[in-house]
Amino acid sequence: MTCADFEKILPDVVEGVRSIDQESHLKSCPSCLDLVADLELIFREARQLEGLYEPSPSFVRLSKLRRWCLRFGGLGGPRG
């Protein structure tokens, strides 16, 4: 698995769905591990901020999340 492969399945990884291949890539690739940690943080904050749109450091993170949404599609939509 390459970093490009990994990026394609990032939305699943962030939601906790990981295959053995993905886990082993994470263990060998600090940059992807960092990316996942960052996205997990963004996801948590985005959920906490649901409905709130105040300018704040978290708002900057939400903007980042939006870019990920646009890139991957289907990420961050309402669930449950």
Question: Are 56 and 69 a contacting pair, CB within 8 Å?
Answer: no
Query: What contacts 57, CB < 8 A, 6 or more positions away?
Result: none
Cα separation, 39 vs 42, whole angstroms: 5
CB of 29 or CB of 69, closer to Zn ion: 29
In whole angstroms, the minimum distance from the beta carbon of 61 to Zn ion comes to 22
As measured in angstroms, the least distance from the Cβ of 32 to Zn ion is 3
* Contacts with Zn ion, residue ranges (CB under 5 A): 3, 6, 29, 32
Query: Looking at beta carbons only, is 23 or 60 nearer to Zn ion?
Result: 23
Nearest-approach distance from CB 6 to Zn ion, in angstroms: 5
